[in-house]
Structure 1
Amino acid sequence: MLANASLFLDFDGTLVDLADRPDDVVADAELRALLARLNLRLGGRVAVISGRSIAQLDAILGPVAQEIALSGSHGCEHRWQGISAQPHRPPTLDQAAERMRAFADRFAGALVEEKSYGVALHYRLCPEAEKEAVELAWHVARDLGLELQEGKMMIELRVAGGDKGVAVRRMMRLAPMKGTMPVFIGDDRTDENGFEAVTELGGAGIFVGKPGETGAHYLLESPAAVRAWLEQMSA
């Protein structure tokens, strides 16, 4: 399947299991080596497309992050072939973070994650806060002109103009990905734009998790299953 493919990979929930706290996620040596092998096998056509910032991905992935294509902050920032592109960081993100921190102080277990071009409110450890967290995020997004992005037990505000589909289309216009079949693997609603993009470009989406409503064509049950499949493809 991967002979003439370009491979786009979400990170959290796809290559690694989700953690209660984003800072607890690590990329083990086996995952780093797997990404390096895949990138070699595909002639440089491997990308990690994540809601995390590129700075976070660099810290987690180590040296292999410099070898593969990266798109961070839900398609707002990119680095590939030695070229980086980042938007302006608006001061409204700091205002959003302040309002989210005030909210998180009311709920034990709520966590605010500040990113390069976004700010996320995690409520995995206090699911009872979900309704109020989502309502707050909608209000803040409206007040400050920010994009709202829902994920698994979290909600994020970010700069407008990017998503994972934008990232896929951007990379597929360039060699060596241009003219190949895009394959996108992801695990939640933030990845649906990526599934839509690869479908439009004649490729396929693979959803990670339980069957449900998705634009992906195929299913893998867990990050462990994703890595096992990628291991077979890299052999």
Structure 2
Amino acid sequence: MDLNINKTTPVLSDPTTPVSKSRLGSSFPSGRFMMNSRKKIPKLDDVRSNGWLDAMISSSPPRKRLVKDFNIEIAPEDDFSQRAWMLKYPSAITSFAHIAAQAKNKKIAVFLDYDGTLSPIVDDPDRAIMSDAMRAAVKDVAKYFPTAIISGRSRDKVYQLVGLTELYYAGSHGMDIMTPVNPNGSPEDPNCIKTTDQQGEEVNLFQPAKEFIPVIEEVYNNLVEITKCIKGAKVENHKFCTSVHYRNVDEKDWPLVAQRVHDHLKQYPRLRITHGRKVLEVRPVIEWNKGKAVEFLLESLGLSNNDEFLPIFIGDDKTDEDAFKVLREGNRGFGILVSSVPKESNAFYSLRDPSEREDRLLHLLLDLFQCVKQRLGWIFPRPSFSPRMIKICKTQLRGIDIDIKIFLNNKGSDEIGEYIRMVIAQEKKWLLERVPPGREKEVRDRFDISGIV
């Protein structure tokens, strides 16, 4: 399914007429997704007294090490808080036995963030390009699991960056979703219309905030103007939301960025500001987020209330927490947080090392799934890996480089099993050396994989 929508797409033509003051005022658009109008945006006379500067700092952890031009944030190895955090949010790779147990007799549905998950966090958002190996890994996963990318970027932009027609795309934090038409039918919704993609296939386009497009366009143009004198500030228009990046702004000028953005947004009571990783995001005041987008996608794909599916969401940003929360509270899936610094999360597992967040992330998860699927009774067929019969997987594990040949044909299960045992044994040894006294059994139990491989 080709989701590359060009300028002829019937519902994506942006209105350019000015927005009146009345439109920006108290009259909220109809629909079940609107927030209670009594919930007011706080007054922002001073970004310091209202805590906005603190929020900017807390959502922007300091860089611990630079790898080329990638801002990879790595906590010190001797940091005790890091050890405790890893116990609370164990590595998704080393905790595979637990993941496999949850996936027994189930199929997987995969949801992915883009920036910081599939691509590195870089100084220039336009240079956040996923590697060819990562693209191939995502394509492999999408062959066997329903796979969607839910990004804060515009849907068109994230499709342009990824370029895979096998995926489902949701842009603007889930406020712009394209899905196939459900053959079983779906409830009529004024925010959901039918259109066609580039291949002529009928699809649904869901845009719960489409009437905010003129407001977002106006705010975007204004923010470009009022921040142009701040060196390093960059404003992006994501169609249904806009963002102000301050990653390249000198920290002493952060209060100036915050003050100008918040002062301007006082005129727009129907818009709100959220904080991401060195970015201020301006979004409509509606009850819609990545968690709602996950629920909508599951329903659209016929997977809602389906016990045969296990949804997994992999993301790194604060906005991904809504998706983690939906899966945790519904007890129907789990989140995997990509982070190099300790922070509270609704996710169950984590991926910490830069080596874990590159292309081997999805390759390794896919290989592990296939390795144990027969013994666990998984119900999807074994895929053919003929294009890559032998994968040389170079894994950097706590400073130890391990080169292992993994045979991915039907005769390769023993070699893969030995690889899994080696990786888990290394992780177990590393963590046992650092675990607080009295918690050794917890580590041993977590790494018990007897009978799995």
TM-score of the superposed pair, with normalisation by structure 1: 0.89
Aligned to 2:262: 138
- Residue 128 of structure 1: CA displacement? 2.7
Equivalent-residue separation in structure 1 for 2:324 and 2:231 (angstroms): 35
In proportion to residue count, which structure has more helix? 1
- Aligned amino acid, residue 282 of structure 2: L
- Residue 208 of structure 1: CA displacement? 0.9
1:153 aligns with 2:153: no
Please list the CA deviations of residues 40-67 of structure 1 after superposition, one character each: whole Å capped at 9, or x if unmatched.
122xx111110011110121111x1x21
Aligned to 1:214: 345
Aligned to 2:130: 27
Aligned to 1:56: 157
- Aligned amino acid, residue 50 of structure 1: S
Moved more, 15-24 or 168-177: 168-177
Moved more, 5-14 or 20-29: 20-29
Q: Secondary structure, in 3 states, of the residue corresponding to 1:12?
A: coil
- Aligned amino acid, residue 338 of structure 2: V
Identify if the C-alpha distance between structure 1 residues 222 and 10 changes in structure 2 by more than 3 Å, giving closer, same or farther: farther
1:225 aligns with 2:356: yes
Aligned to 2:121: 18
What is the aligned counterpart of 2:173 among 74, 90, 93?
Answer: 74
Q: Secondary structure, in 3 states, of the residue corresponding to 1:94?
A: helix
Equivalent-residue separation in structure 2 for 1:177 and 1:32 (angstroms): 25
- Aligned amino acid, residue 184 of structure 1: F
Please list the CA deviations of residues 165-201 of structure 1 after superposition, one character each: whole Å capped at 9, or x if unmatched.
1111111223353322221111121111111111122
Q: Secondary structure, in 3 states, of the residue corresponding to 2:129?
A: coil
- Aligned amino acid, residue 28 of structure 1: S
Identify if the C-alpha distance between structure 1 residues 140 and 154 changes in structure 2 by more than 3 Å, giving closer, same or farther: same
Equivalent-residue separation in structure 2 for 1:84 and 1:222 (angstroms): 37
RMSD after superposition: 1.9
1:93 aligns with 2:216: yes
- Aligned amino acid, residue 174 of structure 2: G
- Aligned amino acid, residue 157 of structure 1: V
Equivalent-residue separation in structure 1 for 2:110 and 2:265 (angstroms): 32
Identify if the C-alpha distance between structure 1 residues 183 and 73 changes in structure 2 by more than 3 Å, giving closer, same or farther: same
Q: Show structure 1 runs of 5+ residues with no match.
A: none
Q: Secondary structure, in 3 states, of the residue corresponding to 1:106?
A: coil
Q: Secondary structure, in 3 states, of the residue corresponding to 1:51?
A: coil
Kindly tell me the number of residue pairs found equivalent between the two proteins: 231
- Residue 146 of structure 1: CA displacement? 1.1
- Contact 1:76 1:159 survives alignment (8 Å): no
Moved more, 202-211 or 176-185: 176-185
* Percentage of identical aligned residues: 27
Equivalent-residue separation in structure 1 for 2:259 and 2:325 (angstroms): 27
- Residue 102 of structure 1: CA displacement? 2.7
- Aligned amino acid, residue 54 of structure 1: R
- Residue 125 of structure 1: CA displacement? 0.7
- Residue 103 of structure 1: CA displacement? 3.0
Moved more, 169-178 or 121-130: 169-178
- Residue 222 of structure 1: CA displacement? 4.8
Please list the CA deviations of residues 49-93 of structure 1 after superposition, one character each: whole Å capped at 9, or x if unmatched.
10011110121111x1x2111111011010122322232343221
What is the aligned counterpart of 1:47 among 132, 136, 148?
Answer: 148
Equivalent-residue separation in structure 2 for 1:193 and 1:25 (angstroms): 23
- Contact 1:164 1:190 survives alignment (8 Å): yes
- Residue 130 of structure 1: CA displacement? 2.3
Q: Secondary structure, in 3 states, of the residue corresponding to 2:137?
A: helix
1:183 aligns with 2:312: yes
Query: Which protein shows a greater Rg?
Result: 2
Please list the CA deviations of residues 9-61 of structure 1 after superposition, one character each: whole Å capped at 9, or x if unmatched.
1100111111111111212322221111101122xx11111001111012111
Equivalent-residue separation in structure 1 for 2:122 and 2:303 (angstroms): 32
In proportion to residue count, which structure has more strand? 1
Equivalent-residue separation in structure 2 for 1:147 and 1:207 (angstroms): 25
TM-score of the superposed pair, with normalisation by structure 2: 0.48
- Contact 2:120 2:129 survives alignment (8 Å): no
Q: Show structure 2 runs of 5+ residues with no match.
A: 1-98, 181-202, 368-453
- Residue 135 of structure 1: CA displacement? 3.5
